[in-house]
Amino acid sequence: MAVDILIIRSKCDPATNGTFLVSEGLKTYLEGKGRSVTELADANASPENVNYWLNSANNRTKKFILLFDHGSCEGAYGEKNNEIAAVINKNNVEDLTKELHMYTFACSTNGNNCVGQLAISKGCYTWLGYTEPVYVFTAAGSLLTKLKSCIWSFITAMVDGSSAEEAEQALRNNYKSHFNDHWVFKYNHDRLLLRKKMNNLKIDTHNRVVKWHRNVRVTGLYAHGPQNRNVFIHFEGIGWKRTWPQHDSQVVNMLSAAALAKSKASRVDFFEDDGQIKQIYVF
Amino acid sequence: MDTIEKLEKWVEAHPEEADTPAMNVSTERTYTIREVLNELKREKETGVAIVDEELKEVKGHIENWLKEV
């Protein structure tokens, strides 16, 4: 099973009690928006579980990582045996964050030459984090609720289809709207930094399962008679991909285009979404 | 208006927020604005400067914040 979003939220000391409260209810909220979510909470926020859900070979998380925890220049933390433990560090950051978007409510992951910057250089699409330690309110109350609403404004914007820049601006605006309420809002705001691979990236247009394949050759075709819309195309160097099965006409048209490309050894471009072909060009 | 005077006015207007602890997630030390205000008053009254480095940093954050509120 794969999911759109992975939430990591440990709870093993006073600080993570605070970050845990900030992310309380987030899984249900995101599921209410139609997103598939896995939550690694408390003892489940272990290095092993994070690796299981993020390693690029198994591809179990498709779009977005949300981490509410300790952090440092060297990495982002979860917990093991009720003590903090690095779950994403400079050694595994490429494998675990490549082609994903990352938000950390954690200390110092996004300073210069820190793990966030390295992640972007290794293929992570966006990393929004803080350049220095963050402050959190550790008791339920109006300030914690306001801090939570700030942070969730970024997540909501990303999940609703905004670009990372737009979502970052939503977060900044929310922080600013609470500057009068406590110094922590300005402090966290001033240490926020978005690093990105390029401009205008969104979780639904740039992720691990949505990509254009260009200049490839069709090497095989498959249609399963007993089932409607069960058609696969084999691409050289890529393997079998299913045609998008929502409409009869699209399946037939794609199969025809692919058959033409195969017979003429033409080059094709195709758009893959979660293992299925949604668009195909034959040249 | 100096920092102490400005902060006193703010604390008077926001008593609940002034007593809410904020924690540095790295060091796990907590501070309330009222505590910092009291430290600033003590510093002024005794002439003995705050030596705690983290508290000095928090004082700086609050002074920076007060410029905008």
Q: Percentage of chain B surpassing pLDDT 70?
A: 99
CB crowding A62-100: b at 16 or more within 10 Å, else e: bbbbbbbbbbbbbbbbbbbeeebbbbbbbebbeebbbbb
Check whether B58 has a pLDDT greater than 90. Answer: yes
For residue B1, name the pLDDT band (cuts at 50, 70, 90): low
Q: Is A114 an 8 Å CB contact of chain B? A: no
**A19, A72, A135: residue with CB nearest B22:** A135
Helix (H, G, I), strand (E, B) or coil at A281: strand
DSSP string, A137-163: E-S-SHHHHHHHHHHHHHHHHHHTT--
User: What single-letter amino acid sits at A213?
Assistant: H
Name residue, tokens 């480095």. B53
Name residue, tokens 């070979």. A57
Name residue, tokens 């699209």. A250
Chain B residues with CB inside 8 Å of A107's CB? 25-26
Q: Is A108 an 8 Å CB contact of chain B? A: yes
Strands across the sheet with B22-24, in order? A135-137, B22-24, B30-31
Chain A residues with CB inside 8 Å of B24's CB? 15, 133, 135
Chain B residues with CB inside 8 Å of A181's CB? 14, 17
* Positive/negative CA dihedral, A109, A111, A112, A116: positive
Are residues A110 and A195 in contact, defined by beta-carbon separation less than 8 angstroms? yes
Are residues A64 and A5 in contact, defined by beta-carbon separation less than 8 angstroms? yes
**A136, A142, A186: residue with CB nearest B25:** A136
Among chain B residues, the shortest Cα distance to A184 is held by B22
Check whether B23 has a pLDDT greater than 70. Answer: yes
Per-residue pLDDT of chain A (283 residues; tens, 9 = 90+): 899 999 999 999 999 999 999 999 999 999 999 999 999 999 999 999 999 999 998 889 999 999 999 999 999 999 999 999 999 999 999 999 999 999 999 999 999 999 999 999 999 999 999 999 999 999 899 999 999 999 999 999 999 999 999 999 999 999 999 999 999 999 999 999 999 999 999 999 999 999 899 999 999 999 988 888 999 999 999 999 999 998 888 899 999 999 999 999 999 999 998 889 999 999 9
Residues of chain A numbered 5-24 and touching chain B (CB < 8 Å): 13-15, 18-19
User: What single-letter amino acid sits at B32?
Assistant: T
pLDDT value of residue A156: 98
pLDDT value of residue A225: 81
Q: How far apart are CA B29 and CA A220, in angstroms?
A: 63
Residue A49, token pair as written in the block:
């579980």
Q: How many helices (H) and strands (E) does chain A have?
A: 9, 14
Those residues of chain B whose CB sits closer than 8 Å to some CB in chain A are 14, 16-17, 20-28, 30, 33, 61-62, 64-66, 68-69
**B25, B33, B61: residue with CB nearest A106:** B25
